[in-house]
Structure 1
Amino acid sequence: MDDEPLTRQYMRTNLTLLHDQWECAGEAADGQEALDLLDRGQSFDLIMTDIKMPVMSGLELACEVAKRKLNMRMVIISGYDEFSLAKEAMKYGVHDYLLKPLVKEELIAMLDNMCKHVEADRAAQLAYKAMVSLSVETKEQVAKNFLRALVSENNIEIKELYPILFRLKISLIEGEGVIMLVDLDDAQLLQRNISPSDITLFRYIVHQTAIELVIPILGAIVFFDSEQQTTILVTGDDAADVLSRCQHLFAQLSKIILNMTGIAIWGAVGSYEIDVLQLNSSYQRASRIIKDRLFVCEPTLFFDHSYDSSFTSLICKLDHTIATLPATFADSHHLNLTAVLKAIVELMYTETPDQRKVIQLGTYILKRLLALMEAFGQQTLHQALEILRQNTDSATFTSEEVVRLYLLMLQPFLLSINPPSAANSEHEIVTKAKNYIYAHFAEPLSLALIADQSGVTPGYLSSLFHQNVNESYIKFLTRVRMEHAAKLLQAKPPEKVYDVSEKVGYVSVKHFSYVFKQHYGIPPGEYQERALN
């Protein structure tokens, strides 16, 4: 729109000639006339307006369009002496400006550029509409795939799926959440001469039963981890609520599985987290404490919050010793392999082990090796478990017999592995990661994405953060977000809390409010009132 009739006539007559993708769909003599058209429901892809007009200027029009959050692009036309006003209009979402007198080549270039942006906007809108129309089941599957990628530290899938969660506004945690692991008692299965290939069926029964039990539980999601353990995200208002849900769910699941199969199950509840990207920490903690079943006779549910195990050092030594096994596989005489197996047996057994303990430890060794040697799959594990099952008829074993049994059991695994590559400078990696967080904190950020930008693995970056920054990456990210949120809440004129929430990277305003209160001790609304008063 323009208050000069000749200018409007030129654009109306020549617009399509200048660019065949555009046509004049409306015109107005001033900003108020243009606003009246918009308020009557007319929609345009592009608004071209002079910056100085009677009744309502182009700058005022840009402000009104921004307030109405209309999805259209704007271009300001101004003279040289109005250039400062054109720059001011940019803060209202104006996308470009042209200087008077209009130059044909510049006008064509602008129209071509706007055409590309409009087409991109339309494609993004279509993609968004397609996503929000997805079924509840499909959205749940997206959430499951993301959680599976998160706990397995699958960098590629995390980067692909987290922005989708963000766009779909799927908030997996709005208070506190925890990962609970549920696993079969493998020793019982093998003692009952159940074939290792049938263990998958038993795991499926546990998994499906868990899904049926959590259907009425809001905020619970069931999925398999890389070791085919049933993994459950349980959320609630606070830690006490989450704990109560975990206890109730495990008690129900244990009873049903025992009645159906005669097999007991183990469980472990990891650390309580308030950020979805930190659920890997909860999973890792649950994975650690469930290992204590090596020392406990009766299947039970382990808890992180009350965990004070005397077995921590022993488990660390065991895992470290097992990690040395692959390096011995290339020795055709198996002298080093035998020595390591002997060290494992001496570490774990101070007295003659019974059948159950031998099977438990043998199963544990195999699963740890499968995790270390990713080239091997479930078939290799089943072969080794079958060897273990067929050679554990005795009630008790001597240490020498256990070593020979494990040596036989490891036949499918006797291959060499390659050492990991060297890492970059620790200081440079941490600095690069911090700078990336400062620049992108308002975006969906995961440890995997930051690690990829820093050129290291997620686990290594997490360790470096603790060593060099004295806090985890998620605490650092949260602190950066909260400090920026505090500044926005102190701004005048005041911003809406939900706008601040989105600007610092939170899908859910409820989740943002929860984290803000955890950080500053008061809700964001109250913080804003105090700051403004």
Structure 2
Amino acid sequence: MYRVLLVDDEESVLKVLKTSIDWQAMGVETPMTAADGMQALEMMERESFHMLITDIKMPRISGLELIRRVRCLYPETRCILLTAYSEFDYAKEAIQLGVENYLLKPVQKEELENTVQSTMANLYRRRSTGENMLYDNILHRWLTGSISEEELGERAGVLGLNLYLPQYCVVGITKRRKDSTSSLFRSACLEQLSRQYEVYHCWNDKGMFVMILGGRSLAQDQLEKELCILARQQGAEDQVVAAIGGVVSDPQALHLSYSLVCDMMELADLNQTGVMLNIHADTRSPDADQLIEDLRMFCYRAPGGKDSNVIAVQLYWSVPYKGADECLHHVIYAYLRVLTSEFPEQENSQEQLYKRFGTRSREATGDEAVQMLSSALEWMRADFEKRLDVLSPIVRLAIRYIHESVRSGDGGSIKEFSSKTGVNPAYLGHLFKEETGNFFNSYLMQCRINRSVILLKKPNSKIKDVASQVGFASTSYFVRCFRESKGVSPARYRIGREEQS
């Protein structure tokens, strides 16, 4: 489990920091507190801390001086700075000290939660600290849509990010194989694209090199041609693959472009010819979401779930999908989406699936095609259960508890589950993240959104009723979370489903 030290000379601020975050769900023991920097250093001499959150202006020594000393004595400690000053000099020094983020007082709850969760994720990934830490963290949160418009705007001025360009898109680059090399291609891309666009870049937690492009005329077909030419010039055509996300005009919608890039990287066969990745299915439509949720419930043997034959029949005989080959593609994509959400840290899922189904003859039609799809689904459930069996019994029990609480609309929480089972909530939060790759509360939230997708299919159900049925106490909060996950509001999402129908 991880230990956190909160430092501020105002007791009211310390109280907010301690109570605003569900620390235990992130695998953290109850945070310790110190009233000033000297007391914090004394405490750190007696016991180790993995994260330090400190005010900048305190008696005896400042927060900046405290972090400076901590950097020398305890270089692996993650640091977050609190300040009432938005001056550039303070921010510049904070960046040089390698802080995870600096938060302006009065601290906003959502901003604090997102910063702490990002920092905890870096701890779990054992990511090294460095001078570019704040820059990388802000880019990552921008890409994933977990930063508010206000915070992004403030940080952009400090980090040199231009948020006033007409268009943005995301480009991802990864190696085809572990023994491949991508450095020359990446360097060539940065040099060439920087002549035409604003380019910001970082690495994501899956080892993908990510570039954010901003400019006046971002044409995907032209970008594809440029990347293919660069790959050929660098002799990297058999070494790398690249994906380009959709172009967006609002910087707050950048996560939609990034989601598409991640889909292509996670779902496509990396052994396909050509540098540019493409997937042969719509993975973000209501129909695709419905298949994913049907498959998720099937894998978990959830009450009310469809069996393999029903899913196969509905898929094969539905209007959009005609051939068995296309149907199998959709099933593979749906199962990969289930795996990447349930077990984000597990590797080689693509390779295993394409090896299993890539050479199978799919010329079947009618009942034979349905039987082939049903058999594939049964194999996927057996594979899914093998992956579940690797988890600790208490983690599997926690997952089952989350699904049941979402189906019943009871809400659910790590404290309630820990109370029922007698397990230490901080220990469970730590174990849950270590084994599944998901934070307990993040997984619970995503399960609620996934369940709402099914409930929104009912034409007469009201948005506020759907929110309540999946455990949201506030309809507005549900709408905001749904939009962050799906890119549109529940109402717009339902309209898209009706248009597909």
Q: TM-score, normalised by structure 1?
A: 0.42
Q: Which has the higher contact order (CA 8 A, sep 6+)?
A: 2
Greater gyration radius: 1
The TM-score with structure 2 as length reference comes to 0.44
Say which structure is richer in helix. 1
